[in-house]
Structure 1
Amino acid sequence: MNPRLLLFIILLLLQTQAYAQTTIQGKVLDEKGLPLPGTNIQLKGSYDGATSNQDGSYQFETAEVDAQVLIYKFLGFKTQELNISIKPNSNEIQPIYLIEEITEMNSVTISAGAMEASDERKSVILKPLDIVTTPSAMGDIMGAFQTLPGTSTVGNDGRLFVRGGDASEVGIYIDGMRVGNAYGTTAGNVPTRTRFNPNLFKGTFFSTGGYSAEYGQALSSALALNTKDLSIRSQGDLSIMSVGGGYSHTLANEKQSITASANYFNLAPYQGLIKQEIDFEAAPNGWDIEVAAQKKTGENGLLKIMARTESGGMQLWQPIPGSDRKVLVDLKNNYNYAQANWRTALKKDWTIFTGISYSKNLDKIAYDSLLIERRNELIHIKGTAIKDFSDRLSAKFGIEHFIHPFSEKLLNEGLGREFDDRETYLFTEWDFYFNKDLVFRGGLRGGASSVSNEEWLDPRFSVAYQLKDKGQLSLAAGSFHQLPVENFRVLNTNLQNSESNHLILNYLFTKEGFTFRAETFYKSYDQLVTFEGTLDNPQVLQNGGSGFAKGIDFFFRDRKTFKDTDYWITYSFVDSKRSFNKYQTEVQPSFAPKHNISVVVKHFVPSLKSLIGGSFAYNDGYSYTNPNMDNSEMNSKTKSFQNLSLSWSYLPKPNVIIHLACTNVLGRDNVFGYTFSPKANTDGIFESIPQGQIAPRFVFLGVFLTFSKDKTANQLNNL
Structure 2
Amino acid sequence: MNHLILLLLVLFSQVTAISQTPVKGRILTAKGKPLSGASLTIKDSYDGATTDSTGYFEFTCNESGRQLLQVSAIGYKGLEEVVELNGSPLNLRLVLKEAMDELKAVVVTAGSFEASDSKRTTVLSSIDVVTTASANADVTAALRTLPGTQQIGEKEGLFVRGGSGEEARVFIDGTLVNNFFYSALPDLATRGRFSPFLFKGTVFSSGGYSALYGQALSGALILETIDLPEQSSASVGISSVGLSGGYQHLNKKKSASWGANYGYTNLLPYFELVKQRPDYFRVPAFHGADANFRVKTSKTGMLKFYATFQQNQLGIRTPDIDSAALKNAFGLKNYNLYANLSWKERLGKKWKLYAGTSYSINQDDIQNRLQNSDNKDQVINFLPFSTKPFSVDSRSGLFQFKTVFDRRIGTGLSVLRFGGEWLYFRDNIGFRDTLLRQTVLEDQFKAAFAELDVYITNNLAAKIGTRLEHSSLLNRANMVPRISMAYKLGEKGQASLAYGIFYQKPERNQLLVNPLLQFTKATHYIANYQLINSSYTFRAEAFYKKYDDLVKTFPG
Other-structure match for 2:337: 336
Other-structure match for 2:386: none
Deviation at 1:193, TM superposition (A): 0.8
Other-structure match for 1:487: 509
Unaligned runs of at least 5 residues, structure 2? 370-388
Matches within 5 A, 1:89-488: 89-90=88-89, 95-118=93-116, 120-253=118-251, 254-320=254-320, 321-368=322-369, 369-389=389-409, 390-410=411-431, 413-469=435-491, 471-488=493-510
CA distance in 2, matches of 1:230, 1:155: 36
Contact in 2 for aligned 1:143/1:158 (Cα 8 Å): no
Other-structure match for 1:620: none
Deviation at 1:327, TM superposition (A): 3.2
CA distance in 2, matches of 1:161, 1:77: 44
CA distance in 1, matches of 2:82, 2:324: 93
Q: Residues 230 and 323 (structure 1 numbering): CA distance in 2 closer, same or farther, change over 3 Å?
A: same
Letter in 1 for 2:308: R
Deviation at 1:86, TM superposition (A): 4.2
Among 528, 531, 534, the residue aligned to 1:512 = 534
Contact in 2 for aligned 1:142/1:158 (Cα 8 Å): no
Other-structure match for 2:376: none
Deviation at 1:306, TM superposition (A): 0.6
Contact in 1 for aligned 2:19/2:63 (Cα 8 Å): no
Greater mean alpha carbon deviation, residues 63-72 or residues 127-136: 63-72
Other-structure match for 1:681: none
Deviation at 1:31, TM superposition (A): 2.6
Aligned residues: 526
Letter in 2 for 1:302: M
CA distance in 1, matches of 2:196, 2:271: 25
Contact in 1 for aligned 2:18/2:87 (Cα 8 Å): no
CA distance in 2, matches of 1:500, 1:83: 58
Q: Residues 461 and 87 (structure 1 numbering): CA distance in 2 closer, same or farther, change over 3 Å?
A: farther
Other-structure match for 1:39: 38
Contact in 2 for aligned 1:35/1:55 (Cα 8 Å): yes
Where 1:383 maps in the other structure, the secondary structure is strand
Deviation at 1:518, TM superposition (A): 2.0
Deviation at 1:329, TM superposition (A): 2.1
Q: What is the TM-score with the length of structure 1 in the denominator?
A: 0.69
Deviation at 1:323, TM superposition (A): 4.3
Deviation at 1:365, TM superposition (A): 1.4
Deviation at 1:102, TM superposition (A): 2.6
Where 1:348 maps in the other structure, the secondary structure is coil
Deviation at 1:27, TM superposition (A): 4.7
Deviation at 1:23, TM superposition (A): 4.5
Contact in 2 for aligned 1:393/1:433 (Cα 8 Å): yes
Contact in 2 for aligned 1:285/1:313 (Cα 8 Å): yes
Contact in 2 for aligned 1:107/1:436 (Cα 8 Å): yes
Q: Residues 33 and 392 (structure 1 numbering): CA distance in 2 closer, same or farther, change over 3 Å?
A: farther
Q: Residues 513 and 406 (structure 1 numbering): CA distance in 2 closer, same or farther, change over 3 Å?
A: same
Q: Residues 14 and 142 (structure 1 numbering): CA distance in 2 closer, same or farther, change over 3 Å?
A: closer
Deviation at 1:172, TM superposition (A): 0.2
CA distance in 2, matches of 1:465, 1:71: 32
CA distance in 1, matches of 2:524, 2:38: 45
CA distance in 1, matches of 2:114, 2:208: 14
CA distance in 2, matches of 1:512, 1:472: 16
CA distance in 2, matches of 1:64, 1:194: 70
CA distance in 2, matches of 1:358, 1:48: 64
Other-structure match for 1:16: 15
Q: Deviations over 1:613-649 (max 9, x none)?
A: xxxxxxxxxxxxxxxxxxxxxxxxxxxxxxxxxxxxx
Structure number with the bigger relative contact order (C-alpha 8 A, sep ≥ 6) is 1
Q: Are 2:548 and 1:526 equivalent residues in the alignment?
A: yes
Deviation at 1:118, TM superposition (A): 4.9
CA distance in 2, matches of 1:31, 1:398: 37
Where 1:529 maps in the other structure, the secondary structure is coil
Deviation at 1:464, TM superposition (A): 1.5
CA distance in 1, matches of 2:326, 2:308: 39
Contact in 2 for aligned 1:260/1:291 (Cα 8 Å): yes
CA distance in 2, matches of 1:490, 1:512: 50
CA distance in 1, matches of 2:325, 2:290: 43
Contact in 2 for aligned 1:260/1:289 (Cα 8 Å): yes
Where 2:454 maps in the other structure, the secondary structure is strand
CA distance in 2, matches of 1:14, 1:264: 90
Deviation at 1:161, TM superposition (A): 1.1
Deviation at 1:190, TM superposition (A): 2.8
CA distance in 2, matches of 1:150, 1:324: 40
Where 2:270 maps in the other structure, the secondary structure is helix
Deviation at 1:446, TM superposition (A): 1.5
Q: Deviations over 1:363-396 (max 9, x none)?
A: 1112235222112111121111112222242221
CA distance in 1, matches of 2:315, 2:14: 104
CA distance in 1, matches of 2:533, 2:66: 49
Q: Are 2:523 and 1:501 equivalent residues in the alignment?
A: yes
Q: Deviations over 1:650-685 (max 9, x none)?
A: xxxxxxxxxxxxxxxxxxxxxxxxxxxxxxxxxxxx
Q: Are 2:72 and 1:50 equivalent residues in the alignment?
A: no
Deviation at 1:97, TM superposition (A): 3.1
Other-structure match for 1:565: none
Letter in 1 for 2:552: T
CA distance in 2, matches of 1:307, 1:271: 31
CA distance in 1, matches of 2:467, 2:480: 5
Q: Deviations over 1:151-194 (max 9, x none)?
A: 11111224321110111011101111110111111321232010
CA distance in 1, matches of 2:400, 2:441: 17
Letter in 1 for 2:317: W
Greater mean alpha carbon deviation, residues 270-279 or residues 502-511: 270-279
Q: Deviations over 1:332-353 (max 9, x none)?
A: 1111100100111221222211
Other-structure match for 2:380: none
Greater mean alpha carbon deviation, residues 144-153 or residues 163-172: 144-153
Contact in 1 for aligned 2:20/2:64 (Cα 8 Å): no
Q: Deviations over 1:274-298 (max 9, x none)?
A: 2233332212222111112111112
Other-structure match for 2:384: none
Unaligned runs of at least 5 residues, structure 1? 535-719
Contact in 2 for aligned 1:25/1:58 (Cα 8 Å): yes
Contact in 2 for aligned 1:451/1:494 (Cα 8 Å): no
Deviation at 1:91, TM superposition (A): 5.2
Contact in 2 for aligned 1:451/1:493 (Cα 8 Å): no
Other-structure match for 2:385: none
Q: Residues 240 and 183 (structure 1 numbering): CA distance in 2 closer, same or farther, change over 3 Å?
A: same
Greater mean alpha carbon deviation, residues 330-339 or residues 516-525: 516-525
Letter in 1 for 2:294: Q
Other-structure match for 1:78: 77
Letter in 2 for 1:44: K
Q: Residues 153 and 41 (structure 1 numbering): CA distance in 2 closer, same or farther, change over 3 Å?
A: same
Contact in 2 for aligned 1:118/1:128 (Cα 8 Å): no
Contact in 1 for aligned 2:485/2:496 (Cα 8 Å): yes
Deviation at 1:397, TM superposition (A): 1.4
Contact in 1 for aligned 2:102/2:413 (Cα 8 Å): no
